[in-house]
Amino acid sequence: MTTPLCLSLALLLDALMGEPGWLWSRLPHPAVLMGRAVAALDRRLNHHALSDAARRARGVLALVLLVAGAGLLGWCLALGGPVVEILGAAVLLAQRSLVDHVRAVADGLRQGLPEGRRAVSMIVSRDTTDMDAPRIARSAIESAAENLSDGVVAPAFWFLLGGLPGILIYKVVNTADSMIGYRTPRHEAFGWAAARFDDLLNLAPSRLTALMIAIGARRRLPLADIVADARGHKSPNAGWPEATMARVLDVALAGPRSYDGQMRDLAWVNPDGRREIGAADVEAAISCLWATWAVGLLLVFVLVLV
């Protein structure tokens, strides 16, 4: 069975089944295991008494260990044949899970601000306590766009190129970036390698995601404006799907927000878009997620035929 065929079946399985609660209530999810591995290396290798140079070197070592371990595990699992590959890829894809989390924000907003804030706090790291409805909706749409790339397109892309080793390496690097890839006193040096490698692994998938969003919307979009917003974004990759989805939905995203009690004056994405948005716009983003997923599935089917 070819890799594209395995991926197409994995995409369908993930979309239909999502995250089976009965299974992950009994076994640790692979993402949890990856997080434990990253945390263990952080505790053992990242000591405050070390110089920044030593911390950076140890961060490189941690990344090498994570990549080597994930690649070896993926190679061993792939020996189990196509069924193991399909199930493994389906577990590591997150389309259905992403849709469910974003839909929870729309449902919460319809119930009231407290429920909307509670739901959005599950998918963003910014402060949510004082968010109004438009900020909740913006946060959910931004998370939908970014995680469409990180959680669906990029894992599928690296599975196509490298099978189970490829997708596992991508996921462990992405997990490491989400845990230690921050410019904090503890992690700026130690997490440098993980953050930079994650940027590299997402370089092509983020731009591919933007293209797929545009194709799924079946609209001509202002490419120059999307490129300008993407280049002005705080992330070298997340701005591409965000800027594209913002124009598909005709909404303004990003802008000022609070992290750990500190306001950050970030640039707007699609600043001329609508800013008074709510649950209906979050639901429109969900439709965009499914349209993009369908484009991806079609592209994989083409590869199967080729």
| DSSP labels, 247-273 | HHHTB-EE-SEEETTEEE-PPEESTTS
Write down the pLDDT at residue 33. 95
Q: How confident is the model at residue 229 (pLDDT cuts 50, 70, 90)?
A: very high
Residue 219: Cβ-neighbour burial (10 angstroms; 0-12, 13-18, 19+): exposed
pLDDT for residue 155 is more than 90:
yes
pLDDT tops 90 at residue 125: no
Residue 49 is given by DSSP the state: T
pLDDT at 256: 84
Residue 219 is predicted with a pLDDT of 83
Amino acid 233: pLDDT: 87
Q: CA quadruple 67, 69, 74, 75: dihedral positive or negative?
A: positive
Structure tokens at 41: 């290396």
Q: Would you say residue 262 has pLDDT above 80?
A: no
Q: What's the rounded Cα separation, in Å, for the pair 242 and 273?
A: 13
Query: What rounded mean pLDDT belongs to the chain?
Result: 94
Listed range (15-29, 59-73, 278-292) with the worst mean pLDDT: 15-29
Low-confidence winner among 35-39, 223-227, 259-263 (lowest mean pLDDT): 259-263
b/e burial code for range 222-254 (CB count within 10 A of at least 16 → b): eeebbeebbeebeeebbbbbbbbbbbbbebbbb
Stronger pLDDT, 27 or 163, i.e. the higher one: 163
Whether pLDDT at 237 is above 90: yes
The pLDDT assigned to 20 comes to: 81
The number of CA neighbours under 13 Å toward the Cβ of 302 is: 6
pLDDT at 220 (0 to 100): 85
Contact 46, 37 (CB under 8 A): no
- In this predicted model, what pLDDT tens digit does every residue of 35-47 receive, in sequence order? 999 999 999 999 9
CB 208 within 8 A of CB 288: no
Instruction: Output the pLDDT for position 207.
Output: 97
Tell me what pLDDT residue 250 has: 96
Structural contact between residues 59 and 192, judged by C-beta atoms closer than 8 angstroms: yes
- Of all residues in the chain, what percent carry a pLDDT higher than 70? 100
Q: Is the CB of residue 50 less than 8 Å from the CB of residue 186?
A: no
